[in-house]
Amino acid sequence: MLCRRYRCVTFAICTLLALLVCRSSQADTDYASLVNGLIGTDSEPGFSHGNIYPTVATPFGMTFWTPRTGRESGWIYQYDKTEHHGFHATHQPSPWMGDYGMLGVMPFDNGPAKGRLPVSKFSHDTEEAKPYYYGVTMEDSGVRAEMSATCRSSAMRFDYPSSDKAWMQVDAYGRSEFKINEAEGTIECTGRVQRGGVAGDFGCRYVLDFDCKIVDVERSPDQHWITVKLAPAEDGIVNLKIGSSFISHDQAKLNLDREIGSKSFDEVVAAAKAEWNKRLSVIEIEGATDEQMVTFYSNLYRALLFPRIFFEYNAENEMVHYSPYSGKVEPGEMYADNGFWDTFRAVYPLLSIIDPDINASMVRGWINAYKEGGWFPKWASPGYRDCMIGTHVESVIADALCKGITDFDLDAAAEASIKDATAFSTNGAYGRKGLKEYLELGYVASDRTGEATARTLEFAYDDWCAAQVCKAAGRDDVVPMLLKQSQYYHNVFDPEVGMMRGREASGEWRPNFKADEWGGPFTEGSSWHYSWSVLHDLPGLIALMGGDDAFAGKLDEMLAAKPTFGVGHYGGVIHEMTEMVECHMGQYAHGNQPVHHVLYLYNFSGKPWKTAAPVRQVCDTLYGPGADGYCGDEDNGQMSAWYLFSTLGFYPVCPGKAGYVLGSPRFAKATIHLPSGKDFVIDAPGNSDTAIHVQSLDLNGKSVSRSWIKHQEITDGGTLTVKMGTEPNEDWGTDVEDRPFGDWEQE
């Protein structure tokens, strides 16, 4: 990959594994074994290759489990580290957000610890990281440590070389009461560490159940951790089962009993693997290389982790949850750990195709967040966190509605959307900072509010989304107002420079404009990145920029420009700047989300043939099967969902509109196995590294001249046949009526 500084040794392991996997049919393919859980772990604060950790979990699991080679929060696992700190229960969605409610366990043989936390050397040669299993050998003690997971629990197995030297450290990373039953081999404790976004009596409660007695205990002076000596059988094998709950220890035990109970470690592994294979088999690709197979299914795994389930089932089997918004135990669904600024773009649109039921469940969870806290969250971890801009839950709901997903409280959704668009908030964790100026001036003023132009653009899109929600709810009284506000993007476009620009309260443009200056009126980017952020009205943006040719020419200019940057108000280089340079695509910064739709905008200007080459370049050079497999933060599945859509050959440029813009299918054939039992097949015969251009399209045998497809055309099932060629077909998809999304005359 051009973005990588070096290739990681895991690539050889992954390729070997891929070669061993049978691909004769969907039923025979072991998709879960294709996944490399170490992709994206070769990261540090100054440069991100994903900023993620090897996650052992079930899809959207409440508690994840990971090995720890780094800090207890932030960079939990770093590929280049040589010391292992054991296994870690985590809820961390991003190193920038931090972890909460954690628990650590570390096997060792030279106890008691006497105040020192045990660590061990390890080698990647003894390490195996899959969605359903992680195993490693601790070199200092010789212990083979393994773990698997269910939604709220974990099964672990430790093979000690000597049964009389079996010690375990249990770390709550903060003050905790450890309740120990030595004869039963059980421990109860609570992980209370949090970074905000919680209310009431917060803590993740854990119940640990060893299959042997505890014969000695050492407690740390600060009550953060304990070490226990275990009495396993002569073979030295210790099995540990851990249940978690945000409600109570009794609930944690109930979760453990229901999800694992009397199952052996191997049975838990097999069940988790089966669940992942069921989820991953929803998309079947053919004609991919071994590297591409690993990359594709590893990205699909990452796209099925967030937002995490945050609800449990009580003794009466009723769905309940600890609410980080009210601090109480509330009924119904709840989800957590999602940065909507990232995930609204592709994660939720992907779920609308492959799992509309969980999409609906998530919407119900976010509506519950509004009912319990009074606002939609902007960044939920687990509750309100002051991070990023815009109020994009409106987008998630608008996208669900336009795709026929309606099983939720629509009136409450409209009420919350109207509040985001009209009500002032004094807390940056919810509502819209700068809303007063936005409503009074028609834009957020750059001399009054930071990131003002980015806010204006995202508020305008969110207002359009809110209008769609309100239309569906019958709130016609507010729709005209919201649609008017959705056009406020015009007010931050400077025709003199031909780009989006900061504007002061006086109406004057922010002085000393530089297209490549980051920050100031923009968020983690520059005008190059935000001048395209009019997802809901691209015909209007094209008109502002001077028409089709001028618009496409500006896109060309962005890709051909030197990757320069000014640090702006950041005062120094941030990792996104360096990642843009390393992408080698001019001012296109794929490592951050604001540009994820940009390469598909050629279709809107009648030049869809220009989309293929840059999309292919991103897929082939900025993603890969090794520990350095991303160029930028993976961000709760968004980076992965972009890859999945783009390799399938289409992308959701405007969530909230039921269509997808066509690009360049990467594989000879891909089949989406839909929840209805139907299949949607993308058949691209002749597809190759050089045959990247769409020549023509047939949908179920009928010619299609459009450069986009409808959501219903996918969910109805059928076959999209894409004839590929080495040269662009400059006649396909060029007419106005063939451009996305068939609404040009209405705009």
Listed range (62-76, 110-124, 170-184, 450-464) with the worst mean pLDDT: 110-124
Q: What integer pLDDT is reported at residue 710 of this predicted model?
A: 98
Supply the mean pLDDT for the chain. Answer: 95
* Res. 618: pLDDT tops 50: yes
Domains, the chain, ranges and CATH? 56-278 (2.70.98.10), 290-746 (1.20.1610.10)
For the record, the structure tokens of 581 come out as 């340079």
The mean pLDDT of 194-202, rounded to a whole number, is: 94
Please work out, in degrees rounded to the nearest 5, the angle formed at the alpha carbon of residue 175 by the alpha carbons of 171 and 179. 70
Q: Tens of pLDDT along 346-382? A: 999 999 999 999 999 999 999 999 999 999 999 999 9
Our measurement of the distance from residue 609's CA atom to the centroid of its chain's CA atoms, rounded to an integer in Å, reads 29
**E strand spans, 288-353:** 308-309, 312-313, 319-322, 329-331, 335-336, 338-339
* Res. 18: pLDDT tops 50: no
Q: Tens of pLDDT along 210-261? A: 999 999 999 999 999 999 999 999 999 999 999 999 999 999 999 999 999 9
Given CA atoms 614, 619, 620, 626 in this order, what sign does their dihedral have? positive
Cα gap 661→656, rounded to integer Å:
13
CA dihedral of 724, 729, 732, 735, whole degrees rounded to 10? 160
CB atoms within 10 A of CB 550: 14
Q: What integer pLDDT is reported at residue 111 of this predicted model?
A: 80
The mean pLDDT of 21-39, rounded to a whole number, is: 77
Q: What integer pLDDT is reported at residue 113 of this predicted model?
A: 67
Q: What integer pLDDT is reported at residue 114 of this predicted model?
A: 74
Query: Would you place residue 487 in the very low, low, confident or very high pLDDT band (cuts 50, 70, 90)?
Result: very high
Q: Are 739 and 532 in contact (CB under 8 A)?
A: no
Q: At what angle do helices 638-648 and 347-354 cross, to 10 degrees?
A: 60
Name the region of 223 (left: φ>0; alpha: ψ -120 to 50; beta: rest).
left
Query: Would you place residue 744 in the very low, low, confident or very high pLDDT band (cuts 50, 70, 90)?
Result: low
Cα gap 561→516, rounded to integer Å:
10
Cα gap 395→469, rounded to integer Å:
9
* Whether the bond into 376 is cis, omega within 30 of 0: no
Q: What integer pLDDT is reported at residue 117 of this predicted model?
A: 82
CB atoms within 10 A of CB 471: 17
- If we measure between CA atoms, which residue out of 334, 374, 381, 305 comes closest to residue 634? 305
Q: What integer pLDDT is reported at residue 14 of this predicted model?
A: 44
* Res. 6: pLDDT tops 90: no
